[in-house]
Amino acid sequence: MDILLVLKTNVVSIVMAVLALLLLWKIRGKQSSFERLPPGPATYPLLGNLFQFNIKEAYKYYLELSNRYGSVVTIWLANTPVVIISGYQALKDTMIGLGEEFSGRAIYPLLMKSTYGYGVLSTSGHRWKEMRRFTLTTLKNFGMGRRSIEERVREEAEILVEMFKNCEGSAFSPAKMLMIAVSNVICSIVFGHRFELEDPQFKSLLQTVNTYFSILSSPLGQIYNIFPRLVGLFPGKHKQLFKGLDEAREYCKREAQARMNMQDSSCPQDFIEAFVLKMKEEKDKPNTEYHLSNLVSVIWNMFSAGTETTSSTLRHALLLMMKNPDIQERVQRELDEVIGQDRWPSVEDRQNLPYTDAVIHEVQRSMDLAPISVPHKMMCDTEYNGYVVPKGVMVFPLLSSVLIDPKLWKNPNCFDPENFLDADGRFQKNDAFVVFGIGKRACLGEALARTELFIFFTSLLQHFTFKATVPPEELDTTPTNCSFGRMPLTYECYAIPRK
């Protein structure tokens, strides 16, 4: 009996020793290719730099490290190295100067859960290039950055104003209505139709997008991204999210298949039809990227990226107007002088509204929606500043470092529209306005987002004065979650009609 026990114990010890040796060998093998990585803080075996910072506000730790080690820093998230790039010059040198090398997208488990390696946002190399080129061209053909898209945004702005009016001056939460308005713009481009407020399918898609971004920006999302298999074993909000994501993909697939069964149309009416036309054109081409998996993921990319970002920004804009009633009043005065109350704002008015334009830019700069952008990945071993960043390594473009750099802004640490105005009160452009990212992977919906922010914000302030349910001094404007994204608060407010 004793002999058996000794034998068993020895076998277990030997297996453990072999596994440990294999692990060490793997880590050493990896480390030899990591010898010339940029500097960074000391790490613990297997854990790396985890537990050295508050995961809830990781980007603040990255900012601290860039002050200590310079514009390129390496940290280890468990046994994965991540290179953080900070400062305008370094971001320009890498994301533009070495744009091809830095153009990969990191394999972030939560991003993969929604797209499975297809689409535009979470792909790299040939697939990404093809999907990005097609998506940009098609969005332009459907009017992005031109008047035709403005019409769609204006229609939604009119409906939004009606929804706010229906609240009849009582306290309400504007979050859902803003999301519906913004989302319906992208829906009419992608699906070719808008959804009614109470449509159960629309409600479920919006709920999934909302949960997706709040989990992405929460500590749970960060931990899932580092230890996906382990966290996946436990119950929690992420399980509910994955169910929602599968249902959303199924809906996108049904929409795509409905177009595939339609008679050929040489004049596509929406994004899906344009993609299906391309699928038919390339059906005999081996290795074509125009297939159902890419289509479903691109639809999801545009719907999710095009909904939460812009509606959160508008939500934060209204919060800042309530916190700063003097700024809100000045915007309204400018709107009254230039547009008046008898017509809707149009993008052409922007050039005559320098203060309003500065306020919208300042909302975006100060809220710093995507502090580490969307993580990139190295496409090949690349030398930069005397260091070598190996192929496959994850890269965080630390956009925050540019958006709060005191050398680049007059008053970087608070909400101040003067950051975008010159001495004569004219709008002043600033290249350090990198909220949409920088270089080859920069946001492909930027033109659409800018049109939406301008038309929705001006239409709302033209019709209403926003007031908080508490005095402005007591209003907290700190975002709720600050990891991957900085999600602004949800709140109740009064929209008091101006006429």
Site for ligand HEM in 177-216 (CB under 6 A): 186
The separation between the first and the last C-alpha atoms of the chain, rounded to the nearest angstrom, is: 92
We find the least distance from the C-beta atom of residue 417 to ligand HEM, in angstroms, to be 17
443 binds ligand HEM (CB under 6 A): yes
Nearer to ligand HEM, 82 or 435 (CB): 435
Is 380 annotated as belonging to a binding site?
no
Find the binder of ligand HEM among 180, 206, 276, 305 (CB under 6 A).
305
> Per CB under 6 A, which region of 71-79, 213-221, 272-280, 304-312 contacts ligand HEM?
304-312
Query: 5: which residues sit within 8 A by CB, 6+ positions away?
Result: none
445 binds ligand HEM (CB under 6 A): yes
We find the least distance from the C-beta atom of residue 404 to ligand HEM, in angstroms, to be 16
302 binds ligand HEM (CB under 6 A): yes
> Per CB under 6 A, which region of 11-19, 220-228, 425-433, 435-443 contacts ligand HEM?
435-443
We find the least distance from the C-beta atom of residue 200 to ligand HEM, in angstroms, to be 24
- Spatial separation of the C-alpha atoms in residues 304 and 301, rounded to whole Å: 5
Amino acid at 479: P
Find the binder of ligand HEM among 294, 301, 324, 332 (CB under 6 A).
301
Q: Tell me which H or E stretch contains 464.
A: strand 464-468
Q: Yes or no: say if 495 and 369 are a contact pair by the CB < 8 Å rule.
A: no
- How many residues are there in the chain? 499
Site for ligand HEM in 71-110 (CB under 6 A): 105
479 binds ligand HEM (CB under 6 A): no
Nearer to ligand HEM, 62 or 436 (CB): 436
We find the least distance from the C-beta atom of residue 423 to ligand HEM, in angstroms, to be 29
Q: Which residues pair with 396 in a beta bridge?
A: 84
Q: Name the residue among 13, 269, 47 with its Cα closest to residue 141.
A: 269
> Per CB under 6 A, which region of 49-57, 329-337, 354-362, 439-447 contacts ligand HEM?
439-447
Site for ligand HEM in 103-142 (CB under 6 A): 105, 120-121, 132
Nearer to ligand HEM, 160 or 302 (CB): 302
We find the least distance from the C-beta atom of residue 368 to ligand HEM, in angstroms, to be 9
We find the least distance from the C-beta atom of residue 470 to ligand HEM, in angstroms, to be 27
> Per CB under 6 A, which region of 64-72, 153-161, 269-277, 298-306 contacts ligand HEM?
298-306
The angle formed by the CA atoms of residues 184, 178 and 420, to the nearest 5 degrees, is 110
What does the DSSP assignment read for 45-104?
TTTBTTTSS-GGGHHHHHHHHHHHH-SEEEEEETTEEEEEEESHHHHIIIIIITTTTT-E
Nearer to ligand HEM, 50 or 214 (CB): 214
Beta carbons within 10 angstroms of residue 273's beta carbon:
19
We find the least distance from the C-beta atom of residue 352 to ligand HEM, in angstroms, to be 23
Q: Where are the beta strands (DSSP E) in 381-430?
A: 382-384, 387-389, 394-398
Find the binder of ligand HEM among 83, 272, 363, 444 (CB under 6 A).
444
Query: 170: which residues sit within 8 A by CB, 6+ positions away?
Result: 494
> Per CB under 6 A, which region of 240-248, 353-361, 379-387, 429-437 contacts ligand HEM?
429-437
> Per CB under 6 A, which region of 236-244, 301-309, 454-462, 467-475 contacts ligand HEM?
301-309
We find the least distance from the C-beta atom of residue 9 to ligand HEM, in angstroms, to be 52
Nearer to ligand HEM, 121 or 276 (CB): 121
Nearer to ligand HEM, 50 or 120 (CB): 120
In the complex, residue closest to ligand HEM by CB:
445
Amino acid at 134: F
436 binds ligand HEM (CB under 6 A): yes
Sheet holding 72-77, edge to edge: 72-77, 80-86, 394-398, 376-377, 104-105
Give SS3 for 465: strand
Find the binder of ligand HEM among 38, 268, 306, 479 (CB under 6 A).
306
* Strand 394-398, strand 376-377: pairing: antiparallel
Residue 81 φ/ψ region, left for φ over 0, alpha for ψ in the -120 to 50 degree band, beta for the rest:
beta
What does the DSSP assignment read for 133-192?
HHHHHHHHHTTTTSHHHHHHHHHHHHHHHHHHHTTTTS-B--HHHHHHHHHHHHHHHHTS
Site for ligand HEM in 386-425 (CB under 6 A): 397
Q: Tell me which H or E stretch contains 105.
A: strand 104-105
Site for ligand HEM in 446-465 (CB under 6 A): 448-449
* Strand 481-482, strand 464-468: pairing: unpaired
User: Binding-site residues for heme, please?
Assistant: 443
Summarize as ranges the residues that interact with ligand HEM (CB under 6 A): 105, 120-121, 132, 186, 301-302, 305-306, 309-310, 313, 369-370, 373-374, 397, 435-437, 441-445, 448-449
User: Binding-site residues, please?
Assistant: 443
